[in-house]
Chain A
Amino acid sequence: MMRRYSAWSLVREGLRGHTGWPEAWRKPERPQAAYDAVIVGGGGHGLATAYYLAKLHGMRRVAVLEKGWLGGGNTGRNTTVVRSNYFFPESVALYDFALRLYEGLSRELNYNIMLSQRGMLMVAHSELEMEIAARIVNAMQINGADAELFGRDQVMQKVPLLNDAPDARFPVHGAIWQGRAGVARHDAVAWGYARAASALGVDIVESCEVTGFLVENGRCVGVDTSLGEVRAGAIGLAVAGHSSVLAERAGFRLPIHSYALQAFVSEPVKPMLDTILFSFGTGTYLSQSDKGELVIGGGLDRVPSYGQRGNPPVQEQVISGLLEMLPAVGQLKLLRHWAGIVDVVPDSSPLIGPSPLPGLYLNCGWGTGGFKAIPAGGWLLAHLIATGGHHEISRPFDLARFETGRLIDEAAGAGIAH
């Protein structure tokens, strides 16, 4: 039985030296021989899928198989921005659903995911960029998401440190403001779903790599793993940057290129930024963590890659962008820097739906922006696995869009960064 976390349990454990906390989720050494559903990948999307399968669809014989440790992929490597400022109705339906689930998630999971809806500024630097910003704001409002067009003074009021010198390379004209955007604690999202799923009977097996698929009569009926064969009624794939590697083992190809995406953290400083700041001009974005560190990100690396580390050309671009935006941080030291391998699709929208191999379902292609979508991605993949068919929100994101040509091009629509 899972013990509930509460203010009272914190006080009690404080008084007895924190000796009574039980483990947050069970750690089976190896998977059982068969399940109703097996999820490959123990990132946020895989864990959320398992949770919703158990919680909403009553499936209790479910396993999550993770080759490393929980949340050790992109879920534990991202800059934790959650928002729904996209352009197309299909995308807003998806990402706003995720944001609404995030808004109730700490309570739902009895786990503090530290969602902090501090708002996001996407700064525009010319009259032309302001026109695009107005277009995105209008689209968001029509789609029912909160958005405002800010003028220059409103922007400078939010972030007084923003470079607005007469000779600034990127003068401030205004911004898109989404007040409900925010950040959340990335590990807590993975751990919270893991704990809640485990309490409902889901087996979460770490250090268990899926190496192949069992196919009988043209249908996927299980997986081969480093810990032996596991049979399953349905299999969900949520392995982000490694989707192509597993697709090849299942006998098909995906419209995905894998790239490294980098992030940077500075030494901690006093509070200086109480919102998320993004610049259309530099492509750099940042927020300040509770510890005071600046958490900084930017665009993709230039070279397709599975090397889980960043490369200098984009480092230079991101950091010079930062100095252009906030000259005041020029003296700060970087403390940490890393990269994750993200799954990039030509229209910058995810792939959710049945795979070409019956019995195997996809949740991938989130690229640079799937942390914000974790609750929805898991919810929708669980729906697919439990019912065998699409929910209305996931249908437009089916692989079939590459044959019909109905792409959802958010790179063009919203100039997505993260």
Chain B
Amino acid sequence: MQLFPCPFCGPRPETEFHYGGEAGKVRPEPAEAVSETAWADYLHAQANPKGVSREVWVHLACGEFFVLSRHTVTHEILGAEAMPGREA
């Protein structure tokens, strides 16, 4: 079992965490000006990188969302940060 770092609770078993999605996506606004293509892109198009990846995860125990950096081949953990404005 791998340990993942929660910025609030420290290292915890990976099964306490749930994957949320790719970090850094910006929701296109305003809604009435967003094309179908741009919206589909925002919702569904993924970088899905082979290598270093920045992802949003939630720690199910404390309920906090945060950004986890990891390597998708080696599964090495490279860092964890609170979401902007949610620092521990």
Question: Cβ of B46 and Cβ of A257 under 8 Å apart?
Answer: yes
- Return 6 A-B CB contacts under 8 Å, by A number: A242-B50, A244-B50, A256-B48, A258-B50, A302-B18, A312-B1
- Contact (Cβ within 8 A) B72 A244: no
Q: Tell me if B29 is interfacial: C-beta within 8 Å of chain A.
A: no
Which partner residue on chain A sits nearest B70 by CB separation? A303
Near B by CB (< 8 A), chain A positions 240-259 give 242, 244-245, 248, 252-258
Q: Whole-angstrom distance between the alpha carbons of A258 and B49 in the complex? A: 9
Q: CB distance B19 to A304 under 8 Å?
A: yes
Partner of B72, one of A252, A254, A306: A306
Inter-chain CA distance A256–B73, complex, in Å, is 16
A346 at the interface (CB under 8 A from B): yes
Question: What chain A residues lie within 8 Å of B37 (beta carbons)?
Answer: 403
Is A5 an interface residue, CB under 8 A from the partner?
no
B residues 1-34 near A (Cβ < 8 Å) are 1-2, 14-15, 18-19
Assess whether A254 is in contact with B45, with CB atoms less than 8 Å apart.
Answer: yes
Interface residues as binary, A282-316 with B (CB distance below 8 Å gives 1, 0 otherwise)? 00000000000000000000111111000111000
Q: Which residues of chain B from 38 to 77 have a CB within 8 Å of any chain A CB?
A: 39-41, 43-50, 53, 55, 72-75
Please state if B47 and A303 are interface contacts (CB–CB under 8 Å). Answer: no
> Is B47 within 8 A of A244, CB to CB?
yes
Number of interface residues of B (CB under 8 A): 25
Interface residues on A, range: 20 to 34
Whether A256 pairs with B14 at a CB distance below 8 angstroms is no
- Do B50 and A245 have beta carbons less than 8 Å apart? yes
Within 8 A of B (CB), among A217-263: 242, 244-245, 248, 252-258
Instruction: List 5 A-B pairs, minimum CB-CB distance, nearest first.
Output: A255-B44, A244-B48, A253-B45, A403-B40, A402-B40
Check A254–B14 contact: CB distance below 8 A: no
Least Cβ distance of A130 to chain B in Å?
30
Task: Convert A53-73 into 0s and 1s, putting 1 for each residue whose CB lies closer than 8 angstroms to a CB of B.
Answer: 000000000000000000000
Point out the residue from B1, B41, B73 that lies within 8 Å of A306, measured CB to CB: B73
Q: Which residues of A contact B47 (CB under 8 A)?
A: 244, 248, 253
A244 and B46 contacting across the interface, CB-CB below 8 Å: yes
Across the interface, name the chain B residue whose C-beta is closest to A305: B72
By a CB distance below 8 angstroms, the chain A residues around B40 are 402-403
Q: For A248, list chain B residues within 8 Å (CB).
A: 47, 49
Give the residue of B36, B46, B55 whose beta carbon is less than 8 angstroms from that of A403. Answer: B36
Among residues of A, the one whose C-beta sits closest to the C-beta of B15 is A313
Q: How far is the CA of A256 from the CA of B47 in the complex (A)?
A: 8
- B1's nearest neighbour on chain A, judged by CB, is A312
Cα separation A135 to B79 with both chains bound (whole Å) = 46
In the assembly, what is the distance between CA of A254 and CA of B49, in Å?
A: 11
18 new A-B contacts, CB < 8 A, other than A242-B50, A255-B46, A303-B75, are A244-B46, A248-B47, A253-B46, A256-B46, A257-B46, A302-B14, A302-B19, A303-B14, A304-B72, A305-B73, A305-B75, A306-B50, A307-B72, A307-B74, A307-B75, A312-B1, A403-B39, A403-B40
Complex contacts, A307 vs chain B, CB 8 Å: 72-75
> In the complex, A253 Cα to B41 Cα: how many Å?
8
CA distance A254 to B47 in the complex (A): 8
Q: A213 to chain B: closest CB distance in Å? A: 17
Bound Cα distance from A346 to B55, whole angstroms: 17
A162 to B36 alpha-carbon distance, docked (Å): 49
- CB A298 to nearest CB in B, in angstroms, measures 15
Residues from chain A with Cβ under 8 Å of B1 in the complex: 312-313
Instruction: Please give the distance in Å from A293's CB to the nearest CB on chain B.
Output: 27
Decide: B74 and A302 in contact? CB cutoff 8 A: no
A254 contacts across to B, CB distance below 8 A: 45-46, 48
Note all chain B residues with C-beta closer than 8 A to A311.
2, 75
Q: Which B residues touch A346, using CB under 8 A?
A: 44
